[in-house]
Amino acid sequence: MIEQQNLIYVGVDLHKQHHTAVIIDCWSKKLGEVKFDNKPSAFPLLLKELKKYTKKGLSVVYGLEDVGGYGRGLAVYLKDNHCWVKEVNAKLANARRQSHVTVQKTDSWDAECVAKVLRDELERLPDAKPIDLYWAISQLVTQRRWLAKILTETVKKLHQQISYSYPSYKKFFSEVEGKTALAFWETYPSPYTLKDVSEEALAAFLRKYSNNGLSHKKANQILTLIDADGETYRDYQQSRDSVVVSQVESARFFQEQLVSIEDEIDFLLKRLGFQLESMTGIDVVTAAQLVAEIGDIYRFSSPDKLARFAGIAPVTVGSGNKSRNYKSKQGNRELHDIIKSLAIRQIGVTRTKREPKNAYFHSYYERKIAEGKTKQQAVVCLMRKLVNIIYAMMKKKSAYVMPNITVRQAG
């Protein structure tokens, strides 16, 4: 490790059009500032400026907040030029800015706060490793999240429109957005369009789209429910029906896009060789989310550093002879929430036999509760254990093997 007095720290405030870099020494004294455009042709300007401060044998370390977004191009350029680059959590920089009596908000001050966090937290910050494969997975995960959100909104609107014409629509199909259901809403957007359709014809339609899963019984049920609902026809019915058809087409489009993007995610994950899906509760999407947020596992020298990065490691607060551990509100909150959701899945039970989905973690959780911890505290303990396991699985590219539960553990 380079001695602190032999380092100068460069904090960079990143934006879509331009970046601002502030240079400080080991005593937090501001040495200089440089602004440059966010494009590869302008990045050499930063290195040229830094040469003014490295003539006396000093080394440079760079701190960037957004290495996966606006700052990725700069991060790639710096790494290609063998520079030392650290990823600075935005919450840490924001906390540094808020800690001052007079709170400022300028590009220059933001960059200086990043530089000061870089100086104080250097050993605990992860290295920035903007590898293209991880970045591509991250972009796909972001796109999938957006598509899933849009699909959810579209389905909500479809529910609303269908309810006007079919008050009992929820009893028609188990899933309103299922393949057979969408085909039905598209072909028969209102009871008016069913007026000349016999039970036999409707049964044939259902058989076709459900792969023979539905037939006369379902057709009879739907027609009976429609009769029980009463007359729902209104003026301009055809215009309202066109809205339903449009929403069905949108829902189907976003469903297809989700399948396509998940196939692409699966393809890229296989190139990494991880076996995260071997653990209960981790599917391809969850595995991709973990990889997108963690990135190259080798930028974390230990599970402890990964836990701190995810905001799972406790924060110790003390005064006088008293001290207490508090839940951290810093770290990567996306990764924190992914691991929390995964932890909750581990302690779930099956619907039918009510058996634990993961006997080891379920036993561990129950043991923590028996020790006097609250449910929330027990989940945090479980999250911390998961970090250790995920870290080992990613580093060794190994599959998950559930540990044996001893009598002592089970009790």
* Among 379, 394, 177, CA closest to 290: 394
Give how far Cα 165 sits from Cα of 58, 159, 174, 227, 266, Å.
74, 11, 18, 12, 40
Contact 22, 11 (CB under 8 A): yes
What pLDDT, in 10s, does the model give residues 354-387? 888 889 999 999 999 999 999 999 999 999 999 9
Helix and strand totals (H; E) in the chain: 15, 7
- Model confidence over 194-216: pLDDT tens digits? 999 999 999 999 999 999 999 99
CATH of the domain at 254: 1.10.287.4070
The C-alpha R_g of the chain, in whole angstroms, comes to 28
For residues 235 and 122, state if they share a domain: no
How high is the pLDDT of residue 325? 53
> What does the alpha-carbon distance between residue 390 and residue 255 come to, in Å, rounded to a whole number?
30
Say yes or no: 249 and 290 in one domain. Answer: no
Q: Give 364's contacts (C-beta < 8 A, 6+ positions apart).
A: 381, 382, 385, 409
* Domain endpoint, select from 80, 106, 130: 130
Domain interval for residue 329? 274-410
pLDDT score of 411: 42
pLDDT tens sequence for the chain (411 residues):
567 788 999 999 999 999 999 999 989 999 999 999 999 999 999 999 998 888 777 899 999 987 778 899 999 999 999 999 999 988 788 888 777 655 567 899 999 999 999 999 998 888 888 888 999 999 999 999 999 999 999 999 999 999 999 999 999 999 999 999 999 999 999 999 999 999 999 999 999 999 999 999 999 999 999 999 999 999 999 999 999 999 999 999 999 999 999 999 999 999 999 999 999 899 999 999 999 999 999 989 999 999 999 999 765 544 455 545 556 667 888 999 999 999 999 998 888 888 888 899 999 999 999 999 999 999 999 999 999 999 999 999 999 998 876 544 544
Domain endpoint, select from 130, 159, 190: 130
How many angstroms separate the CA atoms of 339 and 191, rounded?
46
Q: Are residues 147 and 252 in the same domain?
A: yes
Residues 119 and 147 in one domain: no
Same domain flag for 305 and 343: yes
First vs last C-alpha separation in the chain: 46
- Spatial separation of the C-alpha atoms in residues 159 and 161, rounded to whole Å: 6
Are 179 and 202 part of one and the same domain?
A: yes
Strands 30-37 and 59-64: unpaired
Residue type, 144: R
Residue whose structure tokens are 């502030």: 22
Q: What is the pLDDT of residues 69-126, one digit of tens each?
A: 889 999 999 999 999 999 998 878 888 877 765 556 789 999 999 999 999 999 888 8
Do residue 379 and residue 280 come from a single domain?
A: yes
**240 and 145 share one domain:** yes
Same domain, 115 and 155: no
Final residue in a domain of this structure, among 130, 147, 181: 130
| Count of domains observed in the chain | 3
Our measurement of the distance from residue 85's CA atom to the centroid of its chain's CA atoms, rounded to an integer in Å, reads 24
pLDDT at 410: 44
Q: What pLDDT is recorded for position 406?
A: 57
Is the four-CA dihedral 36, 41, 47, 49 of positive or negative sign?
negative
Note every long-range contact of 34-38, with CB atoms under 8 Å and residues 24 or more positions apart, other chains counting: 35/107, 38/14, 38/70, 38/73, 38/74
Beta bridge partners of 59: 7
Helix (H, G, I), strand (E, B) or coil at 52: helix
